[in-house]
Amino acid sequence: MSEAALTRREWLLSERPDSRLQARLGRAYQSWLRFSANRLALAGLLIILLLVFVAAFADLLSPYSPIVGDLRGSRLMPPGPGHWLGTDDQGRDILSRIIHGSRITLYVVLLVAIIAAPIGLAVGAVAGYAGGLLDVVLMRITDIFLAFPKLILALAFVAALGPGIENAVLAIAITSWPPYARIARAETLTVRSSDYIAAVALMGASPSRIVLRHIMPLCISSLIVRVTLDMAGIILTAAGLGFLGLGAQPPLPEWGAMIASGRRFILDQWWVAAAPGAAILIVSLGFNLLGDGLRDALDPRGSER
Amino acid sequence: MSGTGTRAEAGRAARRASAIASTLIRFAAVVAVTYLGLLAVTFFIGRVIPIDPVLAIVGDRAPASVVERAREELGLNLPYHQQFLIYVKGALQGEFGRSVLTTNPVMTDIRRVLPATIELATLGTLIGALIGVPLGVLAAVRRGTLADQIVRIIGLIGYSVPIFWLGLLALLVFYARLRWTAGPGRIDVVYEYTFTPITGFYLLDAMLLRDWAAFRDIFAHIVLPASLLGYFSLAYISRMTRSFMLNELGQEYIVAARAKGLSETRIVWAHALRNAAVPLVTVIALSYAGLLEGSVLTETVFSWPGLGLYITNSLQNADMNAVLGGTIVIGSIFIGINLLSDLLYRMLDPRTRPR
């Protein structure tokens, strides 16, 4: 068994891969080796996997309903058996609300990433490849958005669009694409004048094909790192909007909004606000650890910086 | 001989002056474009809002003629590009309309609340820099050791913690339980009528008035939110200090200094840190800008009567003039700080100076 594992390891680390698949798997394996040597990064990965697991099986895991509470029997009960994290002012089990809130957090983070990253990638790759006036105009727009205070701009957008989780997602996405455009442009500039791009161009590939098929894929790994590192910021912004009453609306168990509703009881029933905040801290810490580890593993050049 | 020397010098000086002038012009153009972009975005936000500003003023049941007249008076019947021109002209003069909530001109309100935010953010940055820089240096020098790991984790938690939640917990522990600090607000009600602010920066005012009792009270109020913001910026500053210091400590002049037999303290603090200080200035300036923004949530938690609380209060009352005015002011400060840090970088780093 160990011999088979050893040969598999050798196969993966082979200097002369026989196929493209072997080369790719080998590279992925090397990245994984670098990544898994970092204990903090593994902890981050574990936290995120746990988040996904909890979000997927929220209905099975939560002992009570996240929306309907027991107003008569269990209002503002301290943590203890039965209610491990206590109950809130409407007699709802806080643990169940946090478990269901993980879905909202994941939803926000994924949606922002799905909206913002492609926008940034497209803007940056096009600007970098086209150059000239288009580059100047696109980068100026990017700089304008970069110069803005993100949270304040998101606040103003949500104020205009009206509170709600979709609008919060939109507002965060609008304010978070510019760094991705910067990164994609920088990556594009480094590969733009390389021989293989010239070769593809000579073979008659159209500019859109070059950008889509040959430049964008190369930007993706550094973009993934950056998006992962930004996820913590996205979670914090979403929670901040929720805290101000501009994100998810009650009775949705959004963690930021839960802190806001627990604020009134902070002096005597501190657990109402403390538990969801701890959940936010753990999850965004997980994303930060994971992002750090990914950066070190995928980009060995930049890891010492 | 001396004649050619001075002529060459004069030529160099002229070239240098023109280089500086062109840099300044480029900076001015960038700032103008960015500011215009800021105004365009806020204008857009103000127009997509579903609340009709005319109906908000005259009411739902006003007759059509009144609505039409109000629309004309507000200039909302004009085409969009003309509206935008009027908007830009107003914004350049600091004219953002009236707040529905306070009925004052928005700029008057902002002038009243801005010192509170500046005071808080300044103290926060000071705390962050004074603790963050030494921590970062320590982490770089003791790289890979336990000290490095601890600094890293302190920083990571600072990046990950929701600041409003930490503020609530801090109020619970240090104000409600331990009674070490004062509660929310800027100053105790007791001083409300005896303490007349001069500049709006209360700590400074109390010193100018030599009112030490008030000073102590103001300090007890500001210390908690400022420390919180300080921790926020410490996370960023210590991390950047560490990477800058690692970069410097790997340079050859450090090897040369060691070979000369200089003490390690002198090498780290006098040689390496001095060179790392140039990019650090930019980092500290950026973290200051970040704190102005972070103050929105902190001010809400601590009922701190600054710009952040003004914006969130206005938000909750759909007072768009106030929200957009506040956004533009914070955006302008952002642009200003970015520009300033860029200029400082050029002044401090001789390599970027035009020759």
Within 219-278 of B, beta carbons closer than 8 Å to A belong to 243, 246-247
**Is residue B40 located within the same domain as residue B177?**
no
Question: Do B71 and B128 fall within a single domain?
Answer: no
- Distance (Å) from the C-alpha of residue A178 to the closest C-alpha of chain B? 14
Mutate to test the interface with B, among A141, A152, A269, A289 (most CBs of B within 10 A): A152
**B3: distance to nearest CA of chain A, Å?**
45
Q: Which domain holds residue B193?
A: 110-352
> ipTM score of the complex?
0.85
Residue B346 lies in a domain: yes
Domain membership flag for residue B237? yes
B105: in domain: no
Based on the fold, state whether residues B214 and B257 are members of the same structural domain.
yes
Residues B221, B228: Cα–Cα separation, whole Å: 12
Let me know whether B224 and B300 are in one domain: yes
For residue A11, tell me if it sits in a domain: no
For B293, the closest of A144, A151, A245 (CB atoms) is A151
Cβ of A259 within 8 Å of Cβ of B312? The answer is no
Residues of B within 8 A of A304 (CB-CB) are 246
DSSP 8-state code for residue B261: T
In a shared domain, residues B88 and B118: no
Residue A152's Cβ-side half-sphere holds a number of Cα atoms within 13 Å equal to 35
* Inside any domain, residue B102: no
Nearest by CB: A289 against B34, B156, B169: B156
Q: Same domain for B85 and B199?
A: no
Among candidate residues B326, B321, B339, the one with its CA nearest the CA of residue B111? B326
State the Rg of chain A over Cα: 23
Residues B205, B213: Cα–Cα separation, whole Å: 12
Alpha-carbon distance A256 to A273, whole Å? 9
Q: Are B82 and B43 in contact (CB under 8 A)?
A: no
- Find the Cα–Cα–Cα–Cα dihedral A218, A221, A223, A227, rounded to 10°: 160
CB-nearest to A266 from B168, B296, B300 is: B168
Burial of B61 (0-12, 13-18, 19+ CB in 10 A): exposed
Give me the pLDDT at residue A30, please: 83
**Cα gap B83→B60, rounded to integer Å:** 24
List pLDDT tens digits, range B255-288.
Answer: 899 899 888 888 888 888 888 888 898 889 888 9
Give the closest residue to A243 by CA, choosing from A265, A258, A264.
Answer: A258
Q: Out of B33, B297, B323, name the one closest to residue A140 (CB).
A: B33
Spatial separation of the C-alpha atoms in residues B57 and B60, rounded to whole Å: 9
Closest listed residue to residue B154, CA positions, set B134, B172, B182:
B134
pLDDT in tens, A132-154: 899 988 988 888 888 777 888 88
Q: How many CB atoms lie within 10 A of CB A17?
A: 16
User: Is B97:B321 a contact under the CB 8 Å cutoff?
Assistant: yes
Residues of chain A with pLDDT under 50: 1, 302-305
What are the average pLDDT values for consecutive 10-residue runs of chain B, which has 355 residues? 64 80 82 86 76 67 78 75 84 81 86 92 94 94 90 91 93 90 83 79 85 87 93 92 90 90 88 87 88 86 91 83 87 85 78 60
Q: Are residues B31 and B137 in the same domain?
A: no
Single out the residue of A126, A132, A147 nearest to residue B32, CA to CA: A147
Nearest CA in chain A to B161: A281
Residues of B in contact with A155 (CB under 8 A): 296, 311-312, 315, 323, 327
- Interatomic CA distance for residues B184 and B305, integer angstroms: 10
- The domain boundary, picked from B37, B63, B92, lies at B92
Q: Are residues B119 and B38 in the same domain?
A: no
Coil, helix or strand at residue A108: helix
Question: In terms of C-beta density within 10 A (0-12 exposed, 13-18 middle, 19 or more buried), how is residue B345 classed?
Answer: middle
Is residue B97 a part of any domain in this protein? no
What is the length of chain B? 355
DSSP A94: H
Find, in chain B, the residue whose alpha carbon is nearest to that of A266.
B172
Residue type, A218: L
Partner residue opposite B160 with nearest CB, options A151, A245, A284: A284
Shortest distance between the Cα of B326 and any Cα of chain A, in A, equals 9
Q: Are B207 and B238 members of one domain? A: yes
Chain B residues with CB under 8 Å of A240 CB are: 162, 164, 296-297
* Tokens 């012009």, residue located: B25
| Residue-range definition of the domain harbouring residue A250 | 49-64+80-304
Residue B127: CATH number of its domain: 1.10.3720.10
The β-bridge partners of A80 are: A83
Q: Cβ of B315 and A263 within 8 Å?
A: no
Kind plus residue range of the DSSP H or E element containing A264: none
Q: From the CA of B176, how many Å to the nearest CA of chain A?
A: 7
Output Rg (C-alpha) for chain B, integer angstroms: 26
Chain A interface mutation, best of B39, B43, B110, B164, highest count of A Cβ atoms under 10 Å: B164
Interface test with A, best of B47, B114, B165, B241 (most A CBs within 10 A): B165
CA A25, CA B164: separation in Å to the nearest integer?
A: 44
Q: Are residues B186 and B303 in the same domain?
A: yes
Same domain, B199 and B63: no
Q: Beta-carbon neighbour count of residue B317 at 10 Å?
A: 12
Identify the three-state secondary structure at position B68: helix
Q: Which residue of B has its CA nearest to A277?
A: B165
The answer to whether residue A35 is domain-embedded is no
Of B92, B126, B148, the residue at which a domain comes to its end is B92
Alpha-carbon distance of A5 to B318, in angstroms, equals 64
Coil vs helix vs strand at A72: coil
Alpha-carbon span B84 to A67, nearest angstrom? 46
Evaluate whether residue B104 is within a structural domain.
no
DSSP secondary structure letters along A185-211: HHHHHHHHTSHHHHHHHHTT--HHHII
The answer to whether the CB of A120 falls within 8 A of the CB of A179 is: yes
Cβ neighbours for A47, distance < 8 A, ≥ 6 positions apart: A282, A283, A285, A286, A289, A290
Decide: B51 and B318 in contact? Cβ < 8 Å.
yes
The reply to whether B86 and B138 lie within a common domain is no
Q: What is the pLDDT of residue B3?
A: 53
Closest partner residue to B320 (CB to CB) among A159, A245, A274 is A159
Structure tokens at B31: 């700032």
User: Is there a contact between A267 and B246 if contact means CB atoms under 8 Å apart?
Assistant: no
Tokens of A55: 């979000």
H/E stretch holding B67: helix B64-73
Residue of B nearest to A302 (CA): B243
Closest CA relative to residue B107, chosen from B321, B331, B304, B292: B321
B39-88 pLDDT, tens digit each: 888 888 877 665 666 666 666 777 778 878 877 777 777 777 888 888 88
**Amino acid (1-letter code) at residue A133:** L
Interface of B with A in 154-213 (CB under 8 A): 156-157, 159-166, 168-169, 171-172, 176
Put simply, the answer to whether B50 touches A273 (Cβ < 8 Å) is no
Specify if B258 maps to a domain. yes
Write the DSSP symbol of residue A16: S
Number of domains chain B is built from: 2
Contacts of B296 in chain A (CB under 8 A): 151-152, 155, 240
Q: Is residue A28 part of a domain?
A: no
CA–CA min distance A189, chain B (Å):
22
Give the pLDDT score at A5.
57
| Residue B179 is assigned to a structural domain of this protein | yes
CB of B128 closer than 8 Å to CB of B234: yes
Is position A208 within any domain?
yes
CATH code, A252: 1.10.3720.10
Structural domain tally of chain A? 1
